[in-house]
Amino acid sequence: MSETFKAILVSRDADKKQSVAVINLTEAELMEGDVTVAVEATTVNYKDGLAITGK
């Protein structure tokens, strides 16, 4: 079984409405040309946090 990792998936539907989700993936599930980056720590600024949550 392949090791999974958390990924942020940003997608748009046919009406161009954006959605954001945190999902578990394996490297085999990535599309060709995608890359993986090891992140030790991160932050989201206030306005981006509001945009992601739809507020």
Give the domain extent around 14.
Answer: 5-53
Q: Report d(CA 32, CA 52) in Å as an integer.
A: 26
Predicted local confidence at residue 1, as pLDDT:
63
Structural domains counted in the chain: 1
Q: Are 7 and 24 in contact (CB under 8 A)?
A: yes
Note the pLDDT tens digit of each residue in 15-45. 999 998 999 999 888 888 877 788 888 888 9
